């Protein structure tokens, strides 16, 4: 925690969550899954219904991992085609994380699962939007090449 002297309140600075999966949040713009073991091999069909059950932390984190891995791959392919790559994964991650880390952190331990659900859902939706942007740019580049 950090003390907000102006408002005389504690302000969460870093959050470490460990409930089967470990992740760390450093405010305002860092989200990191700590025990990620390689590319996600989660079944894609299950990812579509993942966020219907907010208490399925495994599904939430696996969904985030899957889409983040996909974003990294698509961005790398796009950067290989572009003469001057615009954004790095680090810049995109910071933008996405900053937008989603506006969600209020849990106050009590029993709120952590709901918090994980909200955060990973937001992050995953933001990542999907970035993937769509990359795909549109990639399609335009492919049309120019042909």
* Window from 7-11, 69-73, 105-109 with minimum mean pLDDT: 7-11
pLDDT digit string (tens) for 118-133? Answer: 999 999 999 999 999 9
Residues in CB range of 137: below 8 A, 6 or more apart: 78
More confident residue, 51 or 91: 91
Q: What is the pLDDT of residue 92?
A: 95
pLDDT digit string (tens) for 14-67? Answer: 777 776 778 888 888 889 888 765 555 566 667 767 777 767 777 888 889 889
Residue 118 CA, distance from chain mean position:
11
């Amino acid at each position: 925690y950090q003390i907000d002297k102006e408002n005389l309140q504690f302000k969460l600075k870093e959050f470490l969550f460990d409930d089967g999966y470990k992740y760390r949040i450093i405010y305002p713009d860092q989200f990191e899954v700590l025990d990620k073991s390689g590319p996600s091999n989660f079944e894609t069909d299950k990812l579509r219904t993942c966020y219907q059950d907010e208490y399925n932390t495994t599904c939430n984190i696996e969904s985030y991992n899957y889409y983040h891995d996909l974003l990294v791959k698509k961005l790398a392919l796009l950067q290989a085609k572009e003469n001057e790559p615009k954004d790095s994964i680090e810049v995109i991650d910071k933008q996405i994380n900053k937008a989603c880390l506006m969600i209020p952190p849990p106050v009590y331990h029993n709120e952590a699962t709901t918090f994980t659900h909200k955060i990973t859902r937001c992050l995953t939706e933001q990542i999907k939007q970035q993937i769509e942007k990359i795909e549109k740019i990639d399609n335009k580049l492919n049309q120019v090449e042909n």
